[in-house]
Amino acid sequence: MAKKENVKKVKEEKDSKKLTQEEYEKKVRGLEKEGLTSEKIGQKLRDTGIHPKEYSGKISSILGNSYINPDLKNVEAKLERIGNHNKKNKQDKRAEREKNRVFAQLRKLKKYLGIEVR
């Protein structure tokens, strides 16, 4: 019986913590300033007992212009790492090929997302 009472208390505490829409958006923006992606923000919120589905608006729409697609961010970072390696190691033909492959991947992703390709 004590276990059921503890479960009820935990559920009551979670229900009483319900944030308003403004507080939720403020929390999302605060987590974005820490450098988290929208997926990581959602995960962190769920870990703290706040479920994004209970609030209107997707995390990416709340972030607005500051939102960067995580796939795009990861591919750009990979291209930068390979480019730095390639500058130091001119003889590494495999890295040259990998740089070209990742650049093509970046170009395709930008075209898919509708972002201007440089």
- 23-45: pLDDT as tens digits: 888 888 888 888 888 888 889 98
- CA pair distance 75, 115, nearest whole angstrom: 14
The pair of three-digit structure tokens given for residue 58, joined into one six-digit string: 């997707």
pTM for the model: 0.61
pLDDT confidence of residue 93: 96
What per-residue confidence (pLDDT) applies to 107? Answer: 95
Q: What is d(CA 95, CA 85) in angstroms, rounded to the nearest whole number?
A: 8
**Segments in 17-117 forming alpha helices (H):** 21-33, 38-47, 59-63, 70-88, 93-113
Average pLDDT over residues 62-78: 86
